[in-house]
Structure 1
Amino acid sequence: MDGGQTRFAGVMGWPVEHSKSPRLHRFWLEQLKVDGAYIPLPVSPGRLPEAIAGLPLLGFRGVNLTIPHKELVIPLCDKIDETARRIGAVNTVVVEDGVLHGTNTDAFGFIENLRQNSSWTAPAGAVVLLGAGGAARAIAVALSDNGVQDLRIVNRTRERVQSLIQSTGLKNASFVPWNERDQALDGAALVVNATSLGMQGSPNLDLNLAALPK
């Protein structure tokens, strides 16, 4: 261990059991011999304000946010950086001297993982993005900033997609109704599921992949 005071961090969500963050962070804490603990924190939306406010009092260095807290946490932070402000979602809150700093690493993490683990490139064709929540906002920005010219955002409500497009300044994105999700795959080079469907404890994602290029 590094000999310092134990550092506490965690991931907040509702549910949170699906998150692999505790396992990943514990691995690196052990590898780097950091005196720390990374804890899953199941917090319902109604309890989020008091949970976030309690972080400094409990000695937490910060938390990650997962479904459904990435947008809800914004007004609870003392400061928001430009990345999180543009995306309109926060996935990381850092506590410094009692001040809650909100940022977003989802966009960077998504695009870097895509680059390292696939042969995908923006000119390959259209991208279909399922969902318009906090994670989807970050992914949409990452794809747009990396040259995607046809981003089809599939969601149940048009208003939520329009809000995403307008607030993030996307130029090449369009709304597709949820009941047309199968048709949206026609000619797509990449499909991204940013909904809770298919997660542990959630219903399966009903999607016919037949329209994808062979």
Structure 2
Amino acid sequence: MEKGINLAGETLEASVAKDKLYEIIGGLADSTLEKILDVGDAVPIFSYIAKGLKATIAVRDAVFLEKVIAFLSEIGKVPTSARQKMIEKIQQDTQYRQKFGKFSLLYLDRLNDEFKAGYLGRAAQYLSRGEITYDFYQRFAHIMDNLTETDLLELTEKTFLNFGRNTFHSFESLGLMTITLKIPTEAERKSASKMNPHIVQVSHRRLTDWGQWTKNILLDRPVHATDL
């Protein structure tokens, strides 16, 4: 099992390092399974997946392919040389037990849709350009796995409104935000939205560095940009 996962990770790395990757992947998002698999050796991860498929493909396999395409479509926007140097640098760093390909593949399997997979591919762009560390890339993958689509949308809002308690706690537990909460008065409870009777008032809220970097990656802007 471990050997197979390692091999799959290596084929993903080989795919990320392919020349003209974006041109190869760009038109596949809405393609049929047959067309995707016909790409074959041009993208090693597709060839690897095809060998393991049965005559009747499972829904899980089809969804996984969609996530791989979304991931490669994003990372493919970075020049080939930058992608290759990024992979080589991580491979040579002995502090990392899980290399880029294996780690990314395991998280692509865990993420629940192609949109999150695309965000992970975008984070790989930042990693290739040297704007984030591999440590934060791994942190970002964990964040994507633990936030809902609604959470991600709310995180990218320009200003933070009075979110429900659970949303704040999700951000805080992942290290994205520091908050101070004030228990609402009875009058505040009565005036709260009928959709969220347990709304809390926030006396102070601030994105941490991790939170700001995550937000910037989601919005595809310079990682160290700050909100005014």
TM-score, reference length from structure 1: 0.29
Which structure has more relative contact order (CA 8 Å, sep 6+)? It is 2
TM-score where L is the length of structure 2: 0.28
Larger strand share, 1 or 2: 1
